[in-house]
Structure formats: C-alpha cells, structure tokens
Structure 1
Amino acid sequence: MFRSPKGETEYPVAEPEDDAPKAPMWTERWGLWMALLLAVMAMAYVVPIVDMIMNAPPGSPPIRTW
C-alpha cells in the first residue's frame, strides 16, 4: 500500500451554468429549516409519547380466574 504509485488525477467539481437562476434565499436559511424540523418532529412524537406517559398502567392487567 505504501509503495504503490501515487496518482495525480483531478476530480471535476460541479459549477453552476452561466444562465442558471440563483437559488432563493429562503432555502439558504438554516434557522428556518431547523425550526421546520423541530415542528415536524414535535408533531410526530410529542402526542404519542405524552399519551404513553399519561395512560401508562402500573403493570399488566390482572388475570381473572373466575
């Protein structure tokens, strides 16, 4: 591995086209995306977790033998 020949290959990097429109600024705002992420996660997880905590029985229901 250490004696193998070293390559000098250049890797192409993407560049925007000359006449391409610029991306909207709202897509570049990380604060907006993080707030949206937290809102979606809250909608998905808060209600089921609160329901599991509020309606959690202390154990399995007892077995009725009669």
Structure 2
Amino acid sequence: MFNFFKRDPLKKLRQQYDAKAEQAMLAQRKGDMRLFADLTAEAEELWAQYQQLQQATESEPRT
C-alpha cells in the first residue's frame, strides 16, 4: 500500500557507482594510478551488484 515510501535500491547503487567512477576518473587525472585501480575495482563491484539486483527485480512477478 505504501510502496512509494520505500527507497529504490537500484537508484542508490547507481548513485554509489557513479560517485566511485567519478572519484576514479579524478584520481587518474591526478596521475595516481594505484588509487585509480582501487577505485575502479570498487566501482566494478558496485556495478556487478547493480546488475544482479536489476535482474532479480525484473524476474519478480508483479502484483
């Protein structure tokens, strides 16, 4: 009944991914390749979680 009060977990993960990818880009621009690699790996983990959650929500039956 009050589903519109629930936050969208996909949106939250996407925002986290976008922020992490931007941090990685800025690290790369500064020349810090080690930090860039670490942040990119974290962003890829977030993206994998995002895709798994998206597939799970698409396969759920709608009521």
TM-score, normalized by the shorter chain, greater than 0.5: no
TM-score normalised according to structure 2 size? 0.33
TM-score normalised according to structure 1 size? 0.32
Greater relative contact order structure (CA < 8 Å, 6+ sep): 2
